[in-house]
Amino acid sequence: MLNLRLSLTDALCARAEPGNREYAMRDTRLPGLALRVQPCGSRSWVIRARIDGKAVRRSLGSFPETGVKAARATARAVLAGETLTPATPLTVPHFATFQIEHEQRCGVFYKSQGLRTYRAYIRCELLPAFGHQRLDAISRQDVIRWFEGYSLRRPGGANRALGILAQMLGRAKAWGYMPDGWRNPARGIRMNRRKVVGTFLSDDEMARLGSVLDKRIRTGCTASALLRFLTLTGCRVSEAIHLEWADLLPDRLRLRDSKTGPRDVPLGSPVRRFLQSHRANIRRNGGCASGHVFPLAGRQHYEGVRSIWFIVRREAGLPLKLRIHDLRHSFASHAVMSGETLFTTSRLLGHSRVQMTARYAHLADDVLAATCEKLGALLIAQTR
């Protein structure tokens, strides 16, 4: 953010033109006082200082309603530890205005896909519902009424939008916009129960899938090799599509960009042998000199894998509802059924929380039956 250091006057503040990004005009006569100029044209006063070792940031009103002299007087009162009187209340922005600042300051922390999703929820749901309201006027009843209405249409989308709203209002509090004693109305609302989507392949289904994939790989089908790679590693399809040979280390893959950020994927000897065989197969079939591990026809795009998946799924006699992402579910489920802990499986999948892995870790009936037999024998032995 651009920062200008000036001896502020009402005339200078009145001539402040909005730019493409927010910038601040800092007062040299009273350090810590600044006029923030938003791209939408709004201008507001803010004071930043450290009082008793704590960082303090307070909004002091908007310009021109609050002039330079009044802003300095209010800022001095804050620095002296005095309580602001009702004559100098905080100016709380409307949701639509605050959203612009929130995106400018927090948008850099989103990945490109996440930023597009964030903007879609803002544009389609949050702005129509709350854009006309001041932030401190948004009540818990307003949020619940909106959330319940949206939940009737899209329960999962309502959960995501509620999380964005709660985070935005929390930022407004942290940035000094909200009055003392204000409580976030979006916190503590029970979200909709998430429907577990997805299944996993049985041993027989995995065998049929492997047979079809091996047959197609021998013909030089790169997309089939990518699908085989997913069954062996549990990687996301987007991670495999954009994987390059430069990311392949002797004992691991270094994913520079995944859903949860950069991460390493450990490679066992079966996966390493498969990748070596795949590389030799590309050279033998006169493949292109692309740096991608799985160079797809045309361009590196999900549709290039999806079309092959439909063919493979049909040839292997797999359920029509089975998705490519269910290969990742199967990896997690078979890892747990083989005795691996949820924590270990979570690390392999690159999940940020173990709870995410628990949703994917399905258990086959024969595994549950074997567990019942083992527990039954143990309990009988203990009661004799």
The tens digit of pLDDT for each residue in 45-89 reads: 888 887 777 777 788 877 887 888 888 888 888 877 654 444 444
The Cα 351–Cα 242 span in angstroms is: 19
Which residues make beta-bridge pairs with 255? 263
Give domain status of residue 220, yes or no: yes
Give domain status of residue 377, yes or no: no
Tens of pLDDT, residues 110-158: 877 788 999 999 999 999 999 999 999 999 999 999 999 999 999 999 9
CB atoms within 10 A of CB 371: 11
- Whether residues 117 and 17 fall in one domain: no
Cα dihedral sign, 98-104-106-112: positive
- Whether residues 227 and 349 fall in one domain: yes
- Whether residues 102 and 126 fall in one domain: yes
- Whether residues 159 and 263 fall in one domain: no
Upper half-sphere CA count for residue 224 (Cβ side, 13 Å): 20
> In this predicted structure, what is the pLDDT of residue 162?
95
Residues 142, 189 contacting (CB under 8 angstroms)? no
Name the token pair of 98: 């605050």
Q: Length of the chain, please? A: 384
CB atoms within 10 A of CB 26: 17
The Cα 303–Cα 285 span in angstroms is: 23
The Cα 1–Cα 352 span in angstroms is: 31
Closest CA to 312 of 194, 183, 224, 187: 224
What DSSP string runs through 7-33?
A: ---HHHHHTPPP-SS-EEEEESSSTTE
Instruction: Give the CATH number for residue 269.
Output: 1.10.443.10
Give domain status of residue 184, yes or no: no
Last residue of a domain, one of 53, 79, 105: 79
- Whether residues 224 and 341 fall in one domain: yes
- Whether residues 38 and 128 fall in one domain: no
Return the beta strands (E) in 38-129 as ranges. 43-51, 54-62
The Cα 189–Cα 18 span in angstroms is: 38
- Whether residues 347 and 235 fall in one domain: yes
- Whether residues 115 and 237 fall in one domain: no
Give domain status of residue 169, yes or no: yes
Last residue of a domain, one of 79, 111, 146: 79
Last residue of a domain, one of 79, 110, 126: 79
Closest CA to 8 of 57, 90, 67, 73: 67
- Whether residues 74 and 131 fall in one domain: no
Helix (H, G, I), strand (E, B) or coil at 242: coil
- Whether residues 18 and 157 fall in one domain: no
Digit-by-digit pLDDT tens for the chain (384 residues) are 456 788 889 888 888 888 877 888 889 888 889 988 887 777 888 888 877 777 777 888 778 878 888 888 888 888 776 544 444 445 788 999 999 989 988 888 787 778 899 999 999 999 999 999 999 999 999 999 999 999 999 999 999 999 999 999 998 988 888 887 789 999 999 999 876 555 778 889 999 999 999 999 988 889 999 999 999 888 888 888 888 888 888 888 888 777 767 778 888 888 889 999 998 888 887 665 568 888 887 677 888 899 999 999 999 999 988 899 888 888 888 887 777 777 777 777 777 666 667 766 655 555 556 666 666 666 666 655
Query: Prior bond to 64 cis, omega within 30?
Result: yes
- Whether residues 37 and 128 fall in one domain: no
Q: Are strands 2-6 and 43-51 parallel, antiparallel or unpaired?
A: unpaired
Q: How many domains does the chain have?
A: 3
- Whether residues 63 and 133 fall in one domain: no
Name the token pair of 240: 């495999």
Range of the domain at 35: 2-79
